[in-house]
Amino acid sequence: MFTGIITDVGTIAELEQQGDLRARIRTAYDTATIDIGASIASDGVCLTVIALGEDWYDVQISAETVSKTNLDNWALGKRVNLERALKVGDELGGHIVSGHVDGVAEVVKMEDEGDSTRVTLRAPETLARFIAPKGSVALNGTSLTVNDVDGCDFGINFIPHTKEVTTWGDVKMGDRINLEIDTLARYVARLHEAG
């Protein structure tokens, strides 16, 4: 489990297709404190560490994961949002995030509002019903509050701090973004269907 609070921005250092995709991610994390088999959310996707070095870790990514996320856009030098798994007693600053991406949203509009940037994203129709104003979503692993919803489109505001400490300062029109809907919203919708 994760919180959606990004704690490092890593860089893709190597990519190799070996049946599955293997990626090496450079990080500022102290890799001596990471175990083989640990889960690290990388752009919101929970990935398992399979090898470690002084300032990097390797993950293996199945074809299924690549097909359901934006990881097919990973390239050498790409910056990625990172978060280590939640430990008992850690501060829960965002919301409960599983690292299981539900789909991919597209950036369809961007505009500056004061020092912040308003980004409008378009969710897949099958997921849009789970997104509510003032609800939570995880986008590329970042816990965010939804400002407004209009059909499949929803708006998020990014303050300067978020743009500086995550990859959100790099976002541009047309970008495909990993979307994880709030687990609570999913269960509420399911209960409503059953009732």
Residue with tokens 């002084």: 54
**What are 14-71's pLDDT values in tens digits?**
999 988 999 999 999 999 999 999 999 999 999 999 999 999 999 999 999 999 999 9
Does this chain's domain 8-84 share its CATH topology with 103-194?
A: yes
Q: What is the DSSP letter of 170?
A: G
| Among the listed residues 6, 100, 95, the one whose alpha carbon sits nearest the alpha carbon of residue 47 | 100
**Mean pLDDT over all residues of the chain?**
93
Question: What average pLDDT does the segment 78-97 reach?
Answer: 84
The H or E element containing residue 105 is strand 103-113
Residue 80, pLDDT above cutoff 70: yes
Using a cut of 0.75, tell me whether the model's pTM lies above it.
yes
Residue-range domain boundaries for the chain:
8-84, 103-194
CATH fold label, 103-194: Elongation Factor Tu (Ef-tu); domain 3 (2.40.30)
CATH architecture of residue range(s) 8-84? Beta Barrel (2.40)
Contacts of 134 (CB under 8 A, 6+ apart): 145, 146, 147
Cβ atoms within 10 Å, residue 18: 7
Residue 183, pLDDT above cutoff 80: no
Residue 191, pLDDT above cutoff 80: no
Query: What burial letters (b/e) apply to 156-185, b meaning 16+ CB within 10 Å?
Result: bebeeebbebbbbeebeeebbbbbbbbbeb
For residue 79, give both structure tokens: 């910056």
